Structure 1
Amino acid sequence: MRPFCAGAEVEKFWVLCLNRKNRLLKLVELSSGTATQALAGTREIFREALREGAVGIICAHNHPSGDPMPSAQDIQTTRRIREGAKVVGIDLIDHVIVGEAANDPAGAGWYSFKMAGLL
């Protein structure tokens, strides 16, 4: 996702729609927001996934600040998406925040909710 985030001055939110073998069906840019927020409604996320016939999704968004640590709103949004996924029967495989390694206390430049145990 880094090439899509490079130089972005606003937050953007993407949905990667995947088939049953976790292969990419379609990458959808769902929203382009402000310097601190990209609105991603659960309804819109799953509308795109259902339209593409996705079995699983990965959500991704960038932090223009470069620090990929999730905000309270990021955590709340991920929980909302996780609950919606259960209702529609689509796997939420991960939610990834893309930043920059130089601005990441962990040095990775990205944050995975799955790897952090929050999914």
Structure 2
Amino acid sequence: MAVAQALIRVYLLFILAVNPLHRGRYLHRGSSTSASPSLDRVLSSKPRSPLHRNRKHKDPLKPKHPMLAFLVYVNERRAAFREENKNVLEMAKKNKKTYMEAMEEYKRTKRP
């Protein structure tokens, strides 16, 4: 049993030393000079409950909400506005003005 734990310790030390993702997670939490308290914590940790193991992981790249209508409008017309206006502030003001005019036109035509 002691031999198996020693082999596990050596393996974990190797993994923690080689893999930069694990290095920051385990070695630098406790004291930066010694990795043994971290290894003891890893070796003695309880297995996670089935709820934690089967949980779906969230996609960090998934959009949080749909794009706003104003952003869709600006993205479609960005190239044309960029050619006309070199200044970003002027371009933003012109985008807002044309969008508001288009929305007023839309509201007048669609509402009875």
TM-score w.r.t. structure 1 length?
0.20
Question: Which one has a bigger Cα radius of gyration?
Answer: 2
In proportion to residue count, which structure has more strand? 1
Q: Which has the higher contact order (CA 8 A, sep 6+)?
A: 1
In proportion to residue count, which structure has more helix? 2
